[in-house]
Amino acid sequence: MKALILAFSASLVWGLAPSLFKLVLKEGVPPSVALIFHNLSACIISLLITIILGERLTLNPKQLSLAFLGGFLSGFLGLYLFFLALRHGDVSIISPIASTSPLWSALFAYIVLGEKLSFTKFAGILLIIAGISLLSVSFRR
């Protein structure tokens, strides 16, 4: 139950953020600059929380490499592409399409982590694809 509450809370926060990003980009801030301040704020807050909770700040080389690669993909490349898309499109179209990451997560979890791809997960993926198709049609009009 705790995991579901946290996941829905994350969804709520992630649902608000794109509108704020769009406002910043509409002010003429380049996506790369917005990304600097996005990541700087995340770094500062993460460091403070780590210190407050007394968590260790060391990683072995494998952990560091995986964290760095994940950070590069999501914290830089994914967000940079997302910011560019927001600059040129409506939040109501771009955000749901960009939020199809569960589709890719399920696929990569199956391939990389060996997680099972059940019928319900597969059905959910098909629903995501259907949703993207509907958004794409509304985008063309």
**Integer Cα distance of 131 and 19 in angstroms:** 20
What confidence tier does 4 reach under pLDDT thresholds 50, 70, 90? confident
141 pLDDT more than 60: no
Residue 138 lies in a domain: yes
**Integer Cα distance of 21 and 33 in angstroms:** 11
Question: Both 83 and 139 in a single domain?
Answer: no
**Integer Cα distance of 11 and 17 in angstroms:** 10
Which residues form the domain of 73? Answer: 18-90
Residue 104 lies in a domain: yes
Looking at residue 106, its amino acid is A
For residues 69, 72, 38 and 104, what is the CA-based torsion angle, rounded to 10 degrees? -90
Question: Both 23 and 85 in a single domain?
Answer: yes
Q: Give the pLDDT of residue 106.
A: 84
Over residues 18-37, the pLDDT tens digits come to 899 999 999 999 999 999 99
Question: Both 74 and 30 in a single domain?
Answer: yes
Over residues 65-85, the pLDDT tens digits come to 999 999 999 989 999 999 999
